[in-house]
């Protein structure tokens, strides 16, 4: 065991403790899979990452991503949070305009956008879920058939069942049966649109209603008006609800934009029902590449013995 540089960062927020926390071990060299998994389980966070020297010549660093129950090939908030921690610790990218991260799915481009970083969404594979599966998941979520606009199985490394519902209000009112979702074995992301900005007063009303779901949480950071509300339920991984989820938002964006359900640029809000105020900035460039961006804040900076 040795002392290793360590940071705990909050991702998809400009204000600490309102995003999704991530543990980052900045030197994972010499640790085997069992040691990484043990530490990830001990942190009890949704993800813990270990930064390693790259094996691909063009990459700036390599990262391994663990949940308390196992390794992930890719995940969004660990990508942005690890990049933030690596840069803050003195990492110097090979390119001025881009950081290249190596992970199990391959090389991920991360561009710097002022206070934010944004990763290039990995290639998406998607298909229609079976009607039986969708019906079972809808029942576990507490959704009626007429609440659902569309659904897709989404795979960009992690696999999610994406469900588009009729409104952000429907998303915020969900009270899922997490045990039923765990038995079904599907990680499920639910998304719904806020009122259109062109409707006078509706956006401000929608934002007031959304904030009401945060219960007694006070002093939430100032936010841009969100276009969509997202919630992520991952009981099969031992996480009933994830505060803010980059990989899910990436695959949702690729699907929703491609099928005309969302514009090329939008902001998604996530975490309100958990007392968080996550914001995910989505954009599609001229080449068709979808970028997923957000701010990160360091909350703990020190060392860990591993």
pLDDT at 206 over 50: no
* CATH 3.10.310.10, the chain: domain bounds: 3-119+294-305, 125-288
> Average pLDDT for residues 64-69, to the nearest whole number?
92
Q: Which CATH number fits domain 3-119+294-305: 2.30.110.10, 1.20.1440.230, 3.10.310.10, 1.10.1060.10?
A: 3.10.310.10
Q: What is the DSSP string of the chain?
A: --EEEEEEEEES-SSTTSSEEEEEES--TT--HHHHHHHHHHHTSS-EEEEE--SSTT-SEEEEEEETTEEES--HHHHHHHHHHHHHTT---SSSSEEEEEETTEEEEEEEETTEEEEEPPP-EEEPPPHHHHHHHHHHHT--GGGEEEEEEEESSSEEEEEEES-HHHHHT----HHHHHHHT--EEEEEEPPPTTSTTHHHHHHHHHHHTTTT---PPP-PPPSEEEEEEEGGGTEEEES--HHHHHHHHHHHHHTTSS-SEEEEEE-GGGT--EEEEEEE-TTS-EEEEE-EEEEEEEEEE-
| pLDDT, tens digit (0-9, with 9 covering 90-100), for 207-261 | 444 444 444 344 455 456 899 999 999 999 888 999 999 999 999 999 999 999 9
Using one digit for the tens of pLDDT, what is the confidence trace for 178-204? 999 999 999 999 999 998 754 444 444
pTM of the model: 0.89
Task: State the pLDDT at residue 217.
Answer: 44
| pLDDT score of 205 | 45
- Give me the CATH code for the 125-288 domain, please: 3.10.310.10
């Amino acid at each position: 065991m040795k002392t290793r540089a360590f940071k705990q960062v909050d991702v998809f927020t400009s204000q600490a403790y309102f995003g999704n926390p991530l543990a980052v071990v900045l030197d994972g060299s010499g640790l085997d899979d069992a040691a990484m998994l043990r530490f990830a389980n001990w942190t009890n966070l949704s993800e813990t990452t270990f930064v390693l020297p790259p094996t691909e010549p063009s990459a700036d660093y390599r990262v391994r991503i663990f949940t308390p129950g196992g390794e992930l090939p890719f995940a969004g908030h660990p990508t942005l949070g690890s990049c933030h921690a690596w840069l803050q610790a003195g990492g110097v990218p090979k390119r001025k305009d881009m950081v290249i991260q190596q992970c199990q799915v391959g090389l991920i481009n991360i561009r710097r956008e002022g206070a934010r970083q944004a990763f290039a969404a990995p290639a998406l594979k998607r298909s229609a879920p079976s009607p039986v599966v969708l019906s079972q998941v809808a029942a576990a979520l507490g959704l009626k058939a007429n609440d659902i606009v569309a659904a897709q199985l989404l795979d960009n490394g992690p696999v999610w069942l994406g469900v588009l519902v009729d409104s952000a209000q429907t998303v915020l009112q969900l009270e899922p049966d997490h045990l039923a979702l765990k038995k079904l074995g599907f990680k499920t992301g639910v998304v719904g649109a806020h009122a259109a900005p062109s409707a006078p007063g509706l956006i401000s009303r929608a934002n007031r209603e959304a904030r009401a779901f945060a219960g007694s949480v006070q002093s939430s950071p100032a936010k841009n008006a969100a276009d969509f509300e997202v919630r992520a339920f991952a009981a099969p991984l031992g996480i009933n609800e994830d505060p803010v989820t980059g990989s899910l938002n990436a695959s949702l964006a690729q699907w929703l934009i491609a099928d005309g359900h969302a514009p090329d640029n939008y902001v998604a809000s996530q975490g309100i029902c958990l007392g968080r105020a996550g914001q995910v900035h989505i954009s599609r460039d001229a080449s068709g590449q979808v970028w997923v961006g957000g701010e990160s804040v360091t909350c703990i900076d020190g060392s860990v013995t591993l």
